[in-house]
Amino acid sequence: MKELYEYREKILERLPVAVSEFCEECRSFADPLAEVEEGWNVHQIAFHVRGVNREVYGVRILRTLNENNPLFKNFDPDGWMAEHYDSNEDMEKIVGEFQAEMNDLCSVLLQVPHEAWSRMGTHESLGPDLTLQLWVERSLAHLEEHLAVLRNIKK
């Protein structure tokens, strides 16, 4: 159990750092609307990451904490972007809101007792027994994936 607790502590240490690094990378681009990867620009990446946190991982984490076996629907990120993306939204607003929302989520997670990390939910296509830990891991992995994209652009 000690290793599991240490693993979770490392996730909770890394998550706010990754959030800060992602936001700083987004801010570092002189032209956030210039295409950087496969038709996407930095502004779209930031908008997408904030949106996925709001619509998917943040919600799933909080619902798993607060509900008994919540049911989660599929999420279509491309469809969501097509419907919601606003190229006129200020980049600083996007990353500022994302950072604040993630800091709030991290504060909640720091207070969660060890046994709560095993609380479960069900996903309509992935099935049952999906733990809080899984959603936190996926949230971090999604963030790290997009952080790596931004860093690779500069290489």
- At residue 114 the predicted structure's pLDDT band, cuts being 50, 70 and 90, is very high
Long-range CB contact pairs, 116-123, < 8 A, 24+: 116/65, 117/8, 119/64, 119/65, 120/64, 120/69, 121/60, 121/63, 121/64, 121/67, 121/69, 121/70, 121/71, 121/72, 122/69, 122/70, 122/71, 122/72, 123/71, 123/72, 123/74
- The pLDDT value recorded for residue 140 is 99
pLDDT at residue 26 tops 90: yes
Mean pLDDT in residue range 23-28 = 97
Report, at the CATH architecture level, how domain 2-153 is classified: Up-down Bundle (1.20)
pLDDT at residue 154 tops 80: no
- The pLDDT value recorded for residue 38 is 85
Q: 42-52 and 77-84 helices cross at what angle (nearest 10)?
A: 110
How does pLDDT run across 65-111, given as a tens digit for each residue?
A: 999 999 999 999 999 999 999 999 999 999 999 999 999 999 999 99
Cα 50 off chain centre by: 7
- The pLDDT value recorded for residue 155 is 63
Question: For the chain, which residues make up each domain, given as ranges?
Answer: 2-153
Residues with Cβ < 8 Å from 90, sequence gap 6 or more?
A: none
Model pTM score: 0.95
CA distance 136 to 116: 12
